[in-house]
Amino acid sequence: MLPPASSEAPAPRAGRRREEDLLRELHEFLEYNKEKEDKFCCEIADPPGKRIRLENMGEGAEDLNQNGALQQTPVADDVNVAMEISTPKVCNVCLGILQEFCEIDFVKKVCQKVNSAEYQFTSFVFSVSLPPQLSVREHAAWLLVKEEMGKQGLSLAKEDIVQLKETYKWIIHPLFSEELGVPADGKSLFEVSVVFAHPETDEDCHFLATVCPDCFKPAKNKQSVFTRMAIIKALDKIKEEDFRKHFPCPPSSPKNICAALEIQCTNGAIFVAGRYNKYSRNLPQTPWIIDGERKLESSVEELISEHLMTAFKADSFNFSSSGREDVDVRTLGSGRPFAIELVNPHRIHFTAMEMKELQQKINNSSDKIKVRDLQLVTREAIGHMKEGEEEKTKTYSALIWTDKAIQKEDIALLDDMKELKIDQKTPLRVLHRRPLAVRSRVIHTMKSEYIDDHHFRLHLKTQAGTYIKEFVHGDFGRTKPNIGFLLKRTADILELDVESVDVDWPPTLND
């Protein structure tokens, strides 16, 4: 008899019973109830043990007695023989996923690969990619069970069925958790993924493209139109009778089980922010490459990121900043805010002291840049660097030359100009990478500093996004008004420094 139902749900088992043990217990259960209670009528057309004995007889000489009759074997022995000789069939619905890939040996194989990759993680999320045709087989099984239950006056909605993927995760999660020694967490940044394939049944879903062609449209980034989502969409749309015409219910049993094609693990991105100073007039912010040819050997981005990549053991990175300076422009003062996304880092835990040491290592590696306030931040926090970017202000210092001699009083008029509005067409020097447009900008304040008859320094506080070089020389009249126009002479810029970027991010750290 089955044990009485408990009022409490049983705790998930750490492992799975072997198929042979379950088969033995099932036979014992059926035999016990057949002998003790005459309530179970088990109609078995071909008892497994006898059928296997017949299939494995060959010529059958050793299994016949002297009178040519089959030798009788006790039922218990028959079951044992069946279990010894038979090879379990591949499930016609899960294609062996629940038969072979819930075992501890497979779990250990996956975890060995995870551990060998030497990731830092405190939890994990497990993702599995099943062959898309499994959805077709699940659908067929549901139709069959629904039909049988209907004969008994019962209903079975598709929503009542637990999907195979969820079942597999329910079984495998505690096994992985025990083996890895960390909990499973759906929000974890560390992902363990397994990709299964079953080439033998790949064509199971092809009929859907004929019945529901509008569900299968080619996509540039997809190798096949038979994606899981497309198949589910088609299964929701196809009529039951049309499905049964093209696919058997129940599905046929395959010869082979699924194969685990890929076992991968990845860590979610880590974000590092700070401010950088650039002291060189021969260093671009990002790699300077034209027509595949590198113009300069390094860049601000590379001088910072190469150390972060090594420390975090990341696969790649993405660099962003609050604006950018030209290759010949220095960035002084408190520096320019920047953020670097480190993709798939193997190391993710750094103390404040370790971050400070990493900052010092970057600063010691080059005299062209310096980094400050280096810290770990969240993806969401990076938004502070970009939000309201054009409303921010920036302060510059420009060394200007004029063709005609100047006196202090000639440039004093610039000091009195406040909130000067200018219109700038996209500069000729950047027109190859930016769309043609007219942008209105504001020069908030200017303060001139006389040097000699042909040179003066101009300190400007402007709206972010102002092209300072073009404001000085006019860019052939594309920026109006400009310094040359205001001084009624030709003006050009010799040097430009960014003195401050007024973005209150990232937070300043104490030395």
Strand partners, 288: none
Overall size of the chain counted in residues: 511
Q: Which of 63, 242, 326, 415 is catalytic?
A: 326
Q: Are strands 316-321 and 259-267 parallel, antiparallel or unpaired?
A: unpaired
Task: Map tokens 């028959």 to a residue.
Answer: 78
Degrees, nearest 5: CA angle 459-463-464: 105
Residue type, 312: F
Q: Compute and round to an integer the Cα radius of gyration of the chain.
A: 37
In order of 123, 278, 296, 383, 509, the CA distances from 376 in angstroms are 19, 22, 30, 14, 12
Task: Map tokens 């069925």 to a residue.
Answer: 161
- Distance from C-alpha of 16 to C-alpha of 82, rounded to nearest angstrom: 22
Query: Starting from the edge strand earliest in sequence, which strands make up the sheet with 190-197, in order?
Result: 125-129, 190-197, 259-267
Q: Which two tokens stand for residue 242?
A: 């049309």
- 202 has catalytic annotation: no
- Distance from C-alpha of 385 to C-alpha of 388, rounded to nearest angstrom: 8
246 Cβ contact list (under 8 Å, min separation 6): 207, 211
- Distance from C-alpha of 336 to C-alpha of 325, rounded to nearest angstrom: 9
- Distance from C-alpha of 265 to C-alpha of 114, rounded to nearest angstrom: 6
In order of 20, 37, 72, the CA distances from 47 in angstroms are 16, 21, 14
330 Cβ contact list (under 8 Å, min separation 6): 278, 279, 280, 281, 496, 497, 498
Q: Are 456 and 411 in contact (CB under 8 A)?
A: yes
- Distance from C-alpha of 402 to C-alpha of 455, rounded to nearest angstrom: 7
- Distance from C-alpha of 54 to C-alpha of 37, rounded to nearest angstrom: 30
At 33, phi and psi to the nearest 5?
A: -70, -25
- Distance from C-alpha of 467 to C-alpha of 424, rounded to nearest angstrom: 8
- Distance from C-alpha of 424 to C-alpha of 442, rounded to nearest angstrom: 11
Strand partners, 402: 491
- Distance from C-alpha of 93 to C-alpha of 160, rounded to nearest angstrom: 17
At 15, phi and psi to the nearest 5?
A: -135, -175
**Among all residues, which ones are annotated catalytic?**
326
